[in-house]
Structure 1
């Protein structure tokens, strides 16, 4: 075992940690579904609730890469509808997380993934292709996005459902999602530090050493997205999310 900033990690633990960092970088620059694989791996390594705080700074670092590259593609008309309710969802999830133990927390994470996946497939398969651009829909998705991002950083499928429903083009989808998650993830930091106490100096130091893997994943994600057609990209998101949901069940 290796002692890394008070964490006792085996060599295989470190390999999986850096693999998760690579996947986070890829997920934030467009290969969204692969980021869901991080949730079960980190939960197994560090526990459900602790892993949520450990992953958050890694997500923010990857968000910065995504915003830098895709910022000009963001659609702010959708973002301004989402942010107020997303902030409310974060606050509600903070209280929720204080009431349950780690095992129940992990089960809740898995249920959120499967429910979101079902909604994504239903949305893509239904014959009615009208865009549900209603305030109540944005408020619902924003609240769910804020809640799920606090409960295990699991807002990816929920927000994918919303942005897919809005029929955003590939780059606009990635740019809008990048700004949404950067701002919401920064908003979550004080709750993790002062309420859940899942972000500490040692956990952040561990995050910093993963930065090269995050950067590599970000550039790899940009490279792959350029080579995926628009229609195929939509089903790619759904497919990779499905694989991640199965991985969580196992």
Structure 2
């Protein structure tokens, strides 16, 4: 199945659901769905090819999402987390051959699991009903989670959970949260093109495969945006944390058993 020129039915059986999940995530349903994309596609092509095929798709999805959320943003969130994200991409390029992707998966997923369980305990545990106060912006955590976000995005397109760990406790309006997220990952993905080309992963074969999946990507991105626009904060945040928890458990499974 590796090195296919014309994608087979088996390829599309894995790739279409993978792209749909990533598109829903890009539309605003959070980074959890996106974590499923590369592992699903890696069932039918090599992991490096899966990541390379996804990158042009992600960039087009970013363009659609930027248009869909052009009127919504949280400038402070974007500016706080961006420097760390850029550092993380640079570190990913420099050390991608030295650091085990599984080790990164464990660090990210354990952090997200604990973070999500804490939220659900506060929201539905003995102290439920008490308002959860928004966290203020902090330079140190923004730099830490932004760097992990950029690094995870480079090596596995898995930057969603670190972004959520920093951004969700801010308790922003869902539309502003999504607008800042869309802008951040659009810039990170655009920057990733240069190192991916340098690594030889973005060849014409993978690029042509990306083009065949673009219609699915565009439809899923618009669908994700439409869903989020209709979600209230008391629905959006439990959904975002729940998806983050599920995706982190999947990352842990991949790290130890895949």
> Same fold by TM-score, threshold 0.5 exceeded?
yes
Deviates more, 1:176-185 or 1:117-126: 117-126
Say if 2:112 and 2:245, in contact at 8 Å, map to a contact too: yes
- Return the alpha-carbon distance in structure 1 between the equivalents of residues 78 and 185 of structure 2: 10
User: Matches of 1:29 and 1:190 in 2, distance apart?
Assistant: 25
How many Å separate the matches in 2 of 1:66 and 1:186?
14
Cα deviation, residue 73, structure 1: 0.8
Taking structure 1 as reference, are residues 11 and 142 closer, same or farther at Cα in structure 2, changes over 3 Å only?
same
Change (3 A) 1:85 1:243: closer
1:237 and 2:240 are equivalent in the alignment = yes
- Secondary structure of 2:69's counterpart equals helix
Counterpart secondary structure, 1:73: coil
1:120 aligns with 115
Corresponding residue for 1:211? 214
Whether 1:11 aligns to 2:19 is no
Shift of 1:30: 1.4
1:17-56 equivalent positions in 2, closer than 5 A: 17-32=15-30, 33-56=32-55
Unaligned stretches of 5+ residues in structure 2: none
Aligned to 1:180: 184
Following TM superposition, where does structure 1 have runs of at least 4 consecutive aligned residues deviating by more than 6 angstroms?
Answer: none
Work out the CA distance in 2 between the residues paired with 1:227 and 1:241: 20
Question: Take 2:70 and 2:111, find their aligned partners in 1: how far apart are those partners?
Answer: 26
CA contact (8 A) 1:120 1:157 kept: no
Listed as ranges, the gaps of 5+ residues in structure 1 are none
For residues 135 and 142 of structure 1, the distance between their equivalents in structure 2, rounded to whole angstroms, comes to 10
| Residue 80 of structure 1: aligned partner | 79
3-state SS of 1:209 partner:
helix
TM-score after normalising by structure 1: 0.87
- Write the deviation string for residues 48-87 of structure 1: whole angstroms up to 9, x where unpaired: 3332222222111111111101122111222122222211
Q: What is the match of residue 99 of structure 1? A: 98
